[in-house]
Each structure stands twice: as structure tokens, then as C-alpha cells.
Homo-oligomer: A and B are copies of this chain.
Amino acid sequence: MTSMNLADQAPRAAARALDSAEINAHLQQVAHWQLATDARSISREFKFASFYLTMSFVNALAHLANRADHHPDLEVSFGRCKVRLNTHDVGGLSLNDFILAAQIDRL
């Protein structure tokens, strides 16, 4: 754990799976994100007034994802984008998921 804001951190090239204490600590910084029941992913739903606004968000998010080389799963519809983050390489959640979540929250 660190006192530095998650959103200011750079993603780690060698990710490792977080334990439940670490997950719960990081969730405090991204309190709008929901932990999946299997504790292997986090997700957040964002709502918008139009498809234009939804797509604007999706593109900003895609930029952050490409910058981090860490890519979420998205559900996109007219006024809604649900974002799901996990780290395939570790079969669960890594610090990189929480870094990207915090950066997405800044959008």
C-alpha cells in the first residue's frame, strides 16, 4: 500500500494477484466500483444523456486503456457504459486494475 493516489501511478509490467486485504484497501480509493462476487474483477456503470456523450467517454477511456496497455471489457448502449476490469494474466485483480479504475474516475 502507498499513500500516493492510484490515478497517479504507472501500471506495472509484471502484475501479481492482489489478496483480499489489498483489494479492500484499494477499493476505498475507487469507492464507486463494485467487486464481483468471485472477487476476480471490479466494475462500474456510467450513465449519459446521449449516445454522443457515451461514445465520447468510451473514446477517452480507450485512450487511457491503450496508454496503460490494459484493456477493460465494456458494455455500451445508448446512454450507458459498464466497465469491467480484471487482469487476465493473474486470473484476478492486480494493482493495474485499480490504477486504471482511478484514472477512469478522473474522466
Contact = CB atoms under 8 A, between A and B. Distances in A.
Interface of A: 51-52, 55, 58-59, 62, 65-66, 71-78
A55 B61 CA distance: 11
Contact of A59 (B59, B65, B66): B59
A65 B77 contact: no
A73 B77 CA distance: 5
Contact of A71 (B59, B62, B78): B78
Contacts of A77: 71-74
22 contacts: A51-B62, A51-B65, A51-B66, A51-B71, A52-B66, A55-B59, A55-B62, A58-B58, A58-B76, A59-B59, A71-B77, A71-B78, A72-B77, A73-B75, A73-B77, A74-B74, A74-B75, A74-B76, A74-B77, A75-B75, A75-B76, A76-B76
